[in-house]
Amino acid sequence: MASSFLTELRRRDIAELVRFLAVGGFNTLLGYAIIVGALHLGAGDYPANVIGFSLGLPISWLLHRVLTFRVRHEISRRELVRYVLVVAFAYAVNLGVVAGGRGLGFTESPLVQLVAICVYAALFYVLSRRFVFPASDPSGAAPRSSGGSR
């Protein structure tokens, strides 16, 4: 019995990770295209990165909330604050990767931007799953809204 429970839990986790990768892949390609376009227009590393992430942020939130983590409860202030904090932290790490690449002599490099996006995505998944959209129980049921902010 415990074995079948763990198998089902693993299936759900794998399915969620696949959904995250699909949504994240779409959003990453969109953001990367915007970043590269901004670089080609002369925006420079940091402005191009900010532009790409700023335009991708609301799309990412909506798709991950609805498709990846299948949240069914009402949006709460707590969820929004946590989402913003997770994005800000992961984005700071992303900029650290860009700064590190620049420090190594890779300025205005699409490859450095791609590595930075991948680091951001991995960190974003773990923190989103744990702090923004946590499952309320092992069955995968969405947390219930207590009304108002939580």
User: Per residue in 128-146, pLDDT tens?
Assistant: 999 999 875 444 444 434 4
109, part of any domain: yes
pLDDT tens profile 13-48: 889 989 999 998 898 899 999 999 999 999 999 999
d(CA 106, CA 128): 30
Residue 8 has a pLDDT of 67
Residue 136 has a pLDDT of 59
- Number of separate domains in the chain: 1
The mean pLDDT of 70-78, rounded to a whole number, is: 89
81, part of any domain: yes
Contacting residues for 63 by C-beta, under 8 A, at least 6 apart:
23, 26, 27
64, part of any domain: yes
33, part of any domain: yes
Domain of residue 114: give its range. Answer: 2-132
d(CA 149, CA 145): 9
